[in-house]
């Protein structure tokens, strides 16, 4: 039986790497297209890899003839080196991907956002995340799933000392985060990936937003 097809944008990050493993080894998918700036140097019968220039996304339009798009694209202001460069990746590129996906009749778009996403926020990072979320709603996907994890836990390729310290402190205080505070608990990237995978398989049409506690519930 032929399974579903999906595009995964940026499989080199924490969540993207875990999600790629699920897509390749799960029975639901028969074709997985990975889009990124550089090769993963990975071979698998289901895997097709496309090295993308995100400034020229229209060149890859025909590759979007898939059932679903999983977007794990994102950077940090420190890595991007300016607010303008950050916005280009986290807003412009993401919306470019989404618009092409909609044009090519992709049913489901699933994206990793951030817990504090709010386009009215005074914090630039949170404001940009909120802006992209609101813009995605306007595109009009039949299924739109937005995941707002708190602090992500997992083994990163690059060292982020601030996040490492925060993760250490947060894990030690996690026992205090109960009830309505569960959404602030640090969450494993593997759990976010599993939540995205399950949402793509089992949820109904419409717009869905998941905080960390809700991601854990569906993972």
DSSP-assigned letters across all residues of 98-141: HHHHHHTT-SEEEEE--TT--TT-SSHHHHHHHHHHHHHHHH--
Q: DSSP code of 208?
A: E
Q: Looking at 46, 88, 125, 207, which residue is catalytic?
A: 125
Does the annotation count 129 as an active-site position?
yes
Burial of 204 (0-12, 13-18, 19+ CB in 10 A): exposed
Residue among 148, 153, 146, 216 at smallest CA distance from 182: 216
Q: Looking at 4, 102, 108, 129, which residue is catalytic?
A: 129
Does the annotation count 79 as an active-site position?
no
Active site members: 125, 129
């Amino acid at each position: 039986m032929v399974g579903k097809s999906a595009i995964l944008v940026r499989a080199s990050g924490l969540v993207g790497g875990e999600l790629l493993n699920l897509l390749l080894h799960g029975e639901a998918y028969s074709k997985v297209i990975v889009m990124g700036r550089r090769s993963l140097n990975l071979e698998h019968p289901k895997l097709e890899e496309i090295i993308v220039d995100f400034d020229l996304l229209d060149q890859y339009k025909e590759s979007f003839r898939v059932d679903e798009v999983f977007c794990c694209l994102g950077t940090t202001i420190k890595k991007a080196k300016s607010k303008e460069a950050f916005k280009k990746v986290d807003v412009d590129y993401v919306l470019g991907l989404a618009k092409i996906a909609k044009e090519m009749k992709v049913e489901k778009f699933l994206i990793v956002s951030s817990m504090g996403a709010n386009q009215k926020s005074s914090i630039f990072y949170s404001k940009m995340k909120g802006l992209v979320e609101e813009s995605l709603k306007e595109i009009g996907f039949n299924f739109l799933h937005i995941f707002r994890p708190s602090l992500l836990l997992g083994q990163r390729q690059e060292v982020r000392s601030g996040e490492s310290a925060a993760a250490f402190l947060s894990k030690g205080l996690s026992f205090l985060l109960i009830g309505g505070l569960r959404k602030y608990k640090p969450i494993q990237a593997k759990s976010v990936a599993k939540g995205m995978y399950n949402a793509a398989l089992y949820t109904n049409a419409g717009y869905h937003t998941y905080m960390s506690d809700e991601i854990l519930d569906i993972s």
